[in-house]
Amino acid sequence: MSARFNSFNSLAAATALALAGVSGSAFAADRVDLSSLNADSGDRFGRFLVKYRSGSAPRGDVASFNKAIGSAASATSSRLGGGKRAVQLKRLRRTASGADVVLTSRALSRDEAAALMRQLAADPAVESVSNDIRMVPYFTPNDTNFSQQFGFGTGNGGIRATTAWDVTKGEGTVVAVIDTGVVSHSDLNGNVIAGYDFISGDPAGEGLPAGGFFVANDGDGRDANPADPGNGVDAGQCGANGQARNSNWHGTHVAGTVAAVTNNAKGVAGTAHAAKLVPVRVLGRCGGYGSDISDAIIWASGGSVPGAPANPNPADVINMSLGGGAPSACPQIYKDALVDAAARGTIVVVAAGNSNANALTAVDGTGQPVGYTLTNCGTVISVGSVTSSGARSSFSNYGAGVDIAAPGSGILSTTNNGTRGPTTETYLSYDGTSMAAPHVAGVAALVQSVAPTPLTQEQMRTLLKNTARAFPVSPGTKPIGAGIVNAAAAVAAVQGGSNPGAQTYSNGTDANIPDNNATGVSTSIAVSGRTGNAPSNAQVSVSIVHTYQGDLIVDLIAPDGTVYNLHSRTGAGADNINQTYTVNLSSEALNGTWQLRAADRDAQDTGRIDSWSITF
């Protein structure tokens, strides 16, 4: 191959407005496949397929090929007037089908790529021109029970992890699970690295059975073995009114949701299954102590704890699916530990609690205390629970302290068959915000694995809330955060992707439209927690019950007062308006109060705004 064949040929970059300069008679439309630009998921292009006709000089001769693409580059430059950064073309190789792969020296915009393709196709010797479409593998785990894990998919209650996995699986990240420890499980062990047991000896005077290590249940105090020996108890062993219960292998279940070994033709998948797990044991029989838990937070995040060795694998993310106790405010010992962890860059995710109560005030419907949760501590991401339908789980705590929601009802994960000590491994479905939180912890690990710079706690909270998917079933007066965590949108956003995913905001409150009244009636939707402007293709869906469309003027009013007319006295005597309008709102900020106004401008017929929504 001659050196000349490898040389670059210059092209002045195209602009969309200049495309009109390429005459339609200059090429056959069926020779250029512009739809191939739409088939690529990106918006930058630098690799094209150019096939010259059999028998043509460029098909058989290197010099002729270089001359042909050079002429196309020069012609495009001339037609578009120049003034743009030059782009050079280079032939990479010929495919088995006879098309040549042509590379550009810089990425082209969609319009620039279209201009180049059109000019190449203007040569009668060209048989076809197309974008060399970039394919990516579609990752679907072959784990035998994956079909039962609705939480990872694209259904109403799913977190869209299956889409995120085509970008990242959490490589290079570490998630600490501060819980009951973990029990050996073949679908988990491969991702578990060194952890620690922070359960101390039993304090005197609490009525626990004699022995000194009843809570720990492993015969000793703090050590480097975070294995879960089980936490089952008999009635009365955890206080006079304590009920008997079997071991629940809670930490193992939580850990599996975060990072079970995946695509191994068995069991279940994990949210960030290329991440590594650091098990940190703080809960035993009858629970665990704040002093142990706070030390565990500091150690897991890479801090120093007296008497414990340094953590060789500081966590990028900590999951704590625990709570309970008497105070309604965050104990200072937790506050200090959480601030310490945040200062080291560790993201802390917590369960909102399972009392069907306000997660901040932690009281039930009668005002009785039901125990506090770590939501009160502020410097955490608090997670509520949804079902497979996307509705709030009946047990989930709620309120202003809850940041986001994730699947927490019927969650299948790794566990054990033992009722007291461990026996054989198995998989079980559990309910609880304890199951929701590790979905979010896993998503946080996915995000950190691709973030150009690791996000802080507050940056992560903001990102997850801004990219959350709207609830398909409104939680009503028991809010559980900004929406359902959306792994795909969060990963795309932190990579600088275009749109992190549209969200829908609705108002279903009826509003009567006064008859023959120019002022009309308005209902509003408040949008918060978003960044930037609305798109050029926002969708406004309107449902108005009225017996004469021709009476009505319907407007969308932006937060800055700009009016966008949707309907203006058309439709004559037809009943009702049930329509979705596409509106260019690109000059409007997303956040603020949006209004739908309907005015009846003639007498007799009446009606109401039944509902409306805006999606952007």
**Which of the residues are catalytic?**
179, 250, 434
Separation between Cα atoms, residue 321 and residue 336, nearest integer Å? 19
Cβ count near 392 (within 10 Å):
25
Phi, psi dihedrals of residue 534, rounded to the nearest 5°: -70, 160
Phi, psi dihedrals of residue 547, rounded to the nearest 5°: -95, 5
Separation between Cα atoms, residue 126 and residue 231, nearest integer Å? 74
What would the two tokens of residue 352 be?
């909102």
In the sheet with 174-179, reading across from the earlier edge strand, the strands are 196-197, 276-281, 174-179, 317-320, 347-351, 381-386, 404-407
In contact, 215 and 287? CB cutoff 8 Å: yes
Separation between Cα atoms, residue 28 and residue 89, nearest integer Å? 22
SS3 540: strand
Separation between Cα atoms, residue 333 and residue 313, nearest integer Å? 23
Task: Please compute, for residue 281, the number of CA atoms within 13 A of its CA located in the half-sphere on the CB side.
Answer: 31
Angle between helices 110-121 and 62-80 (to 10 degrees): 120
Q: Is 572 left (phi over 0), alpha (psi -120 to 50) or beta?
A: left
Separation between Cα atoms, residue 490 and residue 510, nearest integer Å? 35
Separation between Cα atoms, residue 293 and residue 179, nearest integer Å? 9
Beta bridge partners of 459: none
By C-alpha distance, which of 276, 593, 606 is closest to 445?
Answer: 276
Rounded to the nearest 5 degrees, what angle is found at the Cα of 569, between the Cα atoms of 567 and 573?
115
Measured in whole angstroms, how far is the alpha carbon of residue 395 from the centre of its chain? 24
By C-alpha distance, which of 596, 585, 528, 590 is closest to 557?
Answer: 596
By C-alpha distance, which of 407, 408, 532, 401 is closest to 466?
Answer: 532
Residue owning tokens 């309910």 = 431
In contact, 506 and 612? CB cutoff 8 Å: yes
Measured in whole angstroms, how far is the alpha carbon of residue 83 from the centre of its chain? 41
SS3 566: strand
Rounded to the nearest 5 degrees, what angle is found at the Cα of 296, between the Cα atoms of 290 and 297?
90
Separation between Cα atoms, residue 54 and residue 424, nearest integer Å? 67
Separation between Cα atoms, residue 447 and residue 460, nearest integer Å? 8
Length of the chain, in residues:
616
Report how far apart, in Å, the C-alpha atoms of 230 and of each of 99, 220, 357, 418, 421 are: 64, 14, 29, 8, 5
